[in-house]
Amino acid sequence: RRFQAILPIRGKILNVEKARLEKILRNEEVGAMVSAFGCGIGQDSFNLEKLRYHKIIIMTDADVDGSHIRTLLLTFFYRHMPALVENGYIYIAQPPLYRVSKKKSFQYIHTEKEMDAHLLKLGTSDLSLRLLGEGDLLPKEKLQELLQLILDVESFMTTIERKGVPFCDFLLAKDDLGRLPPYLVTLREEEKFVYSSDEFIELKREYEQEERQKHAAALASIPLEEQTEEMRAFVLRSLPYLELYEPNTLERLKSRLSSFNLTLDQYNVPDGKLFDCVSEEGECFPVFSLKEGVDFIRVNGRKGIEIQRYKGLGEMNADQLWETTMDPSKRTLYQVNISDAIEADKTFTMLMGEEVPPRKAFINQHALAVKNLDI
């Protein structure tokens, strides 16, 4: 209380997308914030010198509602108190996602990526790998290099699958030259894999020609006296396509895999034994795909530990909340810059505004990326 204050926001803050400033100020939660800050609001009343706090920290749950409230608040500050953002006074608390306990010790972990790295570190503390045809165990540094490579393949796979293409289907789409398709084109209501930039450019040319012919045929079916300028104007719609990956990314992955005598196909398609996981006692566990290997190590890393995933700050007791999120000597904060606020404003306008197509495209693009959805 001597150096920081907490202002609870109950429920969702007012949707500022369509509300006038007068209505915004009548909102109880907004009014409480403006009063607490002490600097006023609006062109005529705002005075930065009267601001009581130079660290305004947004603390929300790690779920969909929390993300929504955070976006509302960032949009509010950007539109009605931009000087707070411009001067670096707005922060976002970074509470941990996990608490990992082992016997009497514990640690907090903030991201999914950190959690995965922690499990792999624990999982290899008493495990080693022996590649097929190799007599010796992989040195620890080579083992970590291989695990990072498998994680990069996982990330590549996720990129493909987020675009609606199952990774197995992608791998099976190799052409006769062994090339994987960098593009997926929708032409004549059918999806088609495309294997080179030249092929893509040719398909695009064919598509544009067909669209012009369709327009000309449709126009010819209308009597000349009934045609309008709007009808005669040809508007070319873009060829529907997805760029599945960056070619350089794929080539680097293939090169790194080949240094271990491995291929991309071996990520999740069993093709005989790839390597053995070997315990400290010398027990061997055969592994038949890269995915199976990294999953085995993750499972091994979970042995003997307790993992608690926090949905929100309300799930922590007072001591945990202080230790992870409020203690200035330990907490992690993200300072919001103007580009963050602009991005939040764009997202908010898209999701709450009148335009349906961009909202639909955003949902389609990001729906598959959602993990651990809390509702």
Amino acid 74: pLDDT: 82
Backbone angles phi, psi at 128, to 5 degrees: -130, 170
Domain finish residue from 291, 309, 327: 309
Side-by-side strand order, sheet with 275-279: 127-131, 275-279, 284-287
**Is the same domain home to 72 and 105?**
no
Q: How confident is the model at residue 359 (pLDDT cuts 50, 70, 90)?
A: very low
User: What's the predicted TM-score (pTM) here?
Assistant: 0.71
**72: which DSSP letter?**
H
**Residue 174 maps to a domain:** yes
Alpha helices in 58-129 (DSSP H): 64-80, 82-86, 112-123
Q: How far apart are CA 363 and CA 73, in angstroms?
A: 21
138-191, pLDDT tens digit by residue?
999 999 999 999 999 999 999 999 888 999 999 999 999 999 999 999 887 889
Q: Domain limits at 120? A: 99-182+244-309
* Average pLDDT in the chain: 84
Amino acid 349: pLDDT: 64
Q: How confident is the model at residue 60 (pLDDT cuts 50, 70, 90)?
A: confident
**Residue 363 maps to a domain:** yes
In Å, what is the CA distance from 358 to each residue of 102, 278, 347, 353, 366? 47, 51, 10, 10, 12
306-347, pLDDT tens digit by residue?
999 887 777 788 888 888 888 888 888 888 888 887 777 776
Task: Please compute the mean of the pLDDT values over residues 50-64 and round it to a whole number.
Answer: 85
**Residue 4 maps to a domain:** no
Backbone angles phi, psi at 220, to 5 degrees: -65, -25
223-276, pLDDT tens digit by residue?
888 888 888 888 888 888 899 998 899 999 999 999 998 999 999 877 788 899
Could you tell me the two tokens for 120?
A: 């792999």
**Is the same domain home to 198 and 248?**
no
**Residue 375 maps to a domain:** no
**Is the same domain home to 152 and 67?**
no
**pLDDT at position 364 over 70:** no
**Residue 7 maps to a domain:** no
102-147, pLDDT tens digit by residue?
888 999 898 888 999 999 999 999 999 998 777 789 999 999 999 9
Q: Which residue has the tokens 């126009």?
A: 219
**Is the same domain home to 175 and 119?**
yes
- Which one is predicted more confidently, 370 or 166? 166
**Is the same domain home to 292 and 161?**
yes
Amino acid 84: pLDDT: 92
Amino acid 366: pLDDT: 47
Amino acid 25: pLDDT: 73
Q: How confident is the model at residue 374 (pLDDT cuts 50, 70, 90)?
A: very low
> How many residues does this entry show for the chain?
375
**pLDDT at position 97 over 80:** yes
Tell how strand 90-93 and strand 56-58 pair up: parallel
Amino acid 149: pLDDT: 95
Amino acid 326: pLDDT: 86
**pLDDT at position 31 over 70:** yes
Range ranked top by mean pLDDT from 29-33, 57-61, 174-178, 329-333: 174-178
**pLDDT at position 369 over 50:** no
186-222, pLDDT tens digit by residue?
887 889 999 999 999 999 999 999 889 999 999 999 9
Amino acid 368: pLDDT: 44
**Residue 201 maps to a domain:** yes
**Is the same domain home to 305 and 197?**
no
Amino acid 357: pLDDT: 55
Helix (H, G, I), strand (E, B) or coil at 345: helix
CA 120 centroid distance within chain? 21
Structural domain total, the chain:
3
Q: How far apart are CA 108 and CA 20, in angstroms?
A: 42
**Residue 5 maps to a domain:** no
**Is the same domain home to 82 and 49?**
yes
**Calculated CA dihedral for residues 72, 73, 76, 77, nearest 10 degrees:** -150
Q: How far apart are CA 350 and CA 366, in angstroms?
A: 14
**Is the same domain home to 68 and 210?**
no
Q: How far apart are CA 311 and CA 66, in angstroms?
A: 10
Could you tell me the two tokens for 264?
A: 């991309």
Amino acid 200: pLDDT: 93
Range ranked top by mean pLDDT from 66-75, 275-284, 309-318: 275-284
**Is the same domain home to 26 and 88?**
yes
Amino acid 367: pLDDT: 47
Q: How confident is the model at residue 303 (pLDDT cuts 50, 70, 90)?
A: very high
Q: Does residue 109 contact residue 96 with C-beta atoms inside 8 Å? A: yes
**Residue 276 maps to a domain:** yes
Q: Find the distance separating the first CA and the last CA of the chain, reported in whole Å.
A: 33
